[in-house]
Amino acid sequence: MRVSAIITLKKDVLDPQGKVIHQALDGMGFENISEVRQGKYFEIDVNENDPNKAKAVVEDMCKKLLANLVIENFKIIETQ
């Protein structure tokens, strides 16, 4: 079963890369933007058919390695 995880920076954490992307988009004429935040996206194939169990495994991965909970939040999405 494929499970996806999205890692995003918490609200109070400065995202200099997101800021630069925002400026570049502004310069290209995309002016209707109030903020850009950059994150990470993972697709993980887990050898598990039970969606709840598969999601629990990926949640554990997020807590232990994929995300740093001091600055990041994660969201798990079942994709298949």
Partner 1 sequence: MKSSVITFPGSNCDRDMDVALKKFGFTNKMVWHDDNKLPKSDLVVLPGGFSYGDYLRCGSMASKSKIMQSVINFAKSGGLVMGICNGFQILVETGLVPGVLLRNKYLEFICKNVFVKLDNKENTYFKNLNKDVLELHIAHNEGNYFCTKDQLKEIKDNNQIAIYYCNSDGKIEDQYNPNGSLKNIAGIFNKEKNVLGMMPHPERMIDESLSGEDGSLFFKNLLNNIR
When binding is defined by CB under 8 A, the residue of 13, 24, 33, 77 that contacts partner 1 is 13
Number of CB atoms found within 10 A of residue 5's CB: 20
The least distance separating partner 1 from the CB of residue 65, rounded to whole angstroms, comes to 6
Total site size for partner 1, rule CB under 8 A = 10
**Does residue 11 bind partner 1 (CB under 8 A)?**
no
Applying CB under 8 A, which of residues 29, 34, 52, 65 lies at the interface with partner 1? 65
Residue 55 region, left (φ>0) first, then alpha (ψ -120 to 50), else beta? alpha
Q: Kindly state the tokens that stand for 19.
A: 């800021």
Site membership for partner 1, residue 33 (CB under 8 A): no
User: In this structure, are residues 1 and 49 in contact, taking their beta carbons and an 8 Å threshold?
Assistant: yes
